[in-house]
Structure formats: C-alpha cells, structure tokens
Structure 1
C-alpha cells in the first residue's frame, strides 16, 4: 500500500500543530471586547479546522452570508496575527516523526488552506519547519483543498511524483485532495475532527491516532 514513498506531506493546523488555543483566543477577544462572556477553549477546539468561519460561528453564531461577516473576519485575522505563536504548540510526537522521515532520506512538506499571510510567519517562528522542503498555503495556487492543485504544487517543488507522496490530514477535504492528486492518504484522527464527522468514511488509505503511528506505516515503504 505504501510502496516507493519518497515524501510525506502534511496539513498544518490539527495535524502538525495545535493552533486551537490561539485561534480560539482571537475569536474570544472579539467577544470580551463587546462585553460578552468568555467561552472555554473546549467550545472552539472542534471548529479550529474551519478557520475564521468556524471561530466566528462558535463565538457569534455568525455564518459567511451575514452582512458583517467580512468585517468581523478581518478583525479576527488581526487578532490572530498578533498572537499566532502565543499558545500554539507542535503536537507531541511530530518532532520525532519528522526526524525519522529525514533519517530515512525522505523529504517532507506542508500543504495548508491557511493563507500565506499567516502560514509564512507562523512556520518561520517554529524551528520544526526549517527542514520542510515545501510549504504551500491556501492561496499559493488558484485553488485550495479539496482541489488537488496545492498538493501537486508541493510535489512539484519537491521534484517528486505525486504517487511517491503520502498526504496526512485531519479533515475530509485533505483526503479528497490527496486522492485526487494520486497520493497515498492518511487521516489523522487526533486533530480537529469537528462534531459531526467520521474519518473512517473519508476513504483514506489508513488512519492514525497519533503522529508517531505514521512511522509504522512508513516502515512498509
């Protein structure tokens, strides 16, 4: 199943890093600035994978068709930019996983729907990403996931054929994009799965409950 793999590509939020605390804090500040009570992180965490849409939906029950959504989203973005690395941490086991990938003479990279406005400073601030061979953001190509274009761009930057790549993500759109790109796919069930989703139904080639479990799959390559 995982033969002849030369590269591992990852989603970012919920797969490599736990950014929910900073995302939630950015939305929660909008509440407290308006005199509303703070909400616990547990309310925000399941929606972290949905970015501004998820955070504003949880904080204000606001949907993208709301007339004030664009302005509120920019306020959220500004709050988040000011504290992107305050509480964000690399998931336990990720550093070991990346080290093992490199030790096997493989390369790795990131494909996220996060805009470069946030991806670039965030990855520059976290030492883990120094060894990443490619970092592709949601606005790097004309299409974001679940379109395969960002994944194909990452494979191109690594100079590796898509069918020699594994893509790991914690959202169904990650698996859809990976399959469309002709890559092997792995669902990370420790990420931001939301409240109404079953990763076993996404069609991934494999699932993992922790980052280091990927090493067992890589041992088959």
Structure 2
C-alpha cells in the first residue's frame, strides 16, 4: 500500500497505450519496401518499448552502431509519424483507472522517453489524456529516463513532492528512474517488458498485471 499519495505518473507506451501495432507497422513497411517478407506483430511487440532501436533491431538486425542506422531511424520516424494513431489502442482497464484517479482528486501525468515530436500529437488525439496535468517527453528535459529529472519535472508541473508520487512503467528504466526520484514504483507486467525479462530484478515496490489493480494500493490520506 502506498500512503499519502499526492499524484500518479505513468509511462506511455506499454503502460497506458498499446502502440506496438503502429510501431511495428512503421518498421515492417521499411522491410516490405525493400523486398523483404513482412514479419508478424508478435516479433515486434516485445521490443516496442525500445522505440526505433528496438523496431529496427527486429526488422533488420540493425544496432545503433550500424553506419546506416541514423538514416533508417529517420525513415522509421516518418513512417510512424504518418500513421501513429491508426492501430494504437488504450489498454483495457486504463480509462476506468484514470477516471477513478481523477475522482479521487489525485492529479496524474505522463513521463515517457518518446520524443515530443510524437508524444504531443498522439496524446492530443486521444481523449484519455485530456485530464493529464503533466506530459513530459524524452526531450522535455536535458535527460531521459533512467535519469530521474523527467520525473522531477512532472512533479514540479503538478506541484507535488516527488516523494508523494507513484510512478508506473513497463520497463526497467522506469523503475530505475522512479527509485532515483524517491517515488513509489510500480512495474506494469502487462506491458512490453523486452525480451527474457526478469521483472523481479527491477526492485519495484509493486507489480500489477492489469491497470485497475493499481487502485487497490493507492491511499491519498
């Protein structure tokens, strides 16, 4: 149980929204345009939380050290930018969870490593985020997660003490950042998680296998 909670913060991809279909499609389009066979979404999904690095790794076995990586990454970005709301959906249970958080009088926000180039139009297009008091992207501050600064920035925007915040994410860097910020940390095990992940090693305060489960562990007073 988290006590005296004043705000709840969430990672975006793999925690609130399932963007893997659009991310995978952006990379798969690059494959098919080069005459390579399409790969099923199941290949891309586990690495969706790693963005371009993860998608290009699956699609082409390409690492950031590859001489063409930057060019491929920008092509991927353009593909994604042109179709980033076509297949993306909100995870089951998330809308009800957010409504309950708002009804409890708790401010909430998003802290993602996704660039504002994508975060801003994506969240603007989805009514879920209308009540978010802070949306912090990977380029909002000089540092991205696992550095705690984006979480501190979200707490500042919400006007709350970081120590009274809970941060929910589906990647180890989310938990590392949350712990470094002195926040309560929750591992969303329904998210992407990467490949061959042992979530128990993250040292999160809590694991949840469905969004509404979080509500049982929040106490604002």
C-alpha contact 2:6 2:220 (8 A) present in aligned 1: no
Task: Give the SS at the match of 2:186.
Answer: strand
Matches within 5 A, 1:46-65: 46-65=46-65
Determine the C-alpha separation between the residues in 1 that align with 2:147 and 2:197. Answer: 20
Task: Give the SS at the match of 1:212.
Answer: helix
Question: What stretches of structure 2 of length at least 5 have no aligned partner?
Answer: none
Task: Give the SS at the match of 1:70.
Answer: helix
Deviations 1:105-163 (A, max 9, x none): 10100000000000000000000000000000000000000000000000000000001
2:80 equivalent in structure 1: 80
Task: Give the SS at the match of 1:109.
Answer: strand
Q: Does 2:185 match 1:185?
A: yes
1:5 equivalent in structure 2: 5
2:194 equivalent in structure 1: 194
State the Cα RMSD in Å.
Answer: 0.9
2:33 equivalent in structure 1: 33
Determine the C-alpha separation between the residues in 1 that align with 2:14 and 2:60. Answer: 22
C-alpha contact 2:4 2:220 (8 A) present in aligned 1: no
Instruction: Report how many residues are paired.
Output: 221
Question: What stretches of structure 1 of length at least 5 have no aligned partner?
Answer: none
Q: Does 2:143 match 1:152?
A: no
Deviations 1:29-83 (A, max 9, x none): 0000001100000000001000000000000000000000000000000000000
Task: Give the SS at the match of 1:196.
Answer: coil
Normalising by structure 2, report the TM-score: 0.99
C-alpha contact 2:5 2:220 (8 A) present in aligned 1: no
Deviations 1:156-176 (A, max 9, x none): 000000011000000000000
Q: Does 2:116 match 1:127?
A: no
Alpha-carbon distance, 1:218 to partner:
1.4
Normalising by structure 1, report the TM-score: 0.99
Determine the C-alpha separation between the residues in 2 that align with 1:106 and 1:193. Answer: 27
Alpha-carbon distance, 1:196 to partner:
1.9
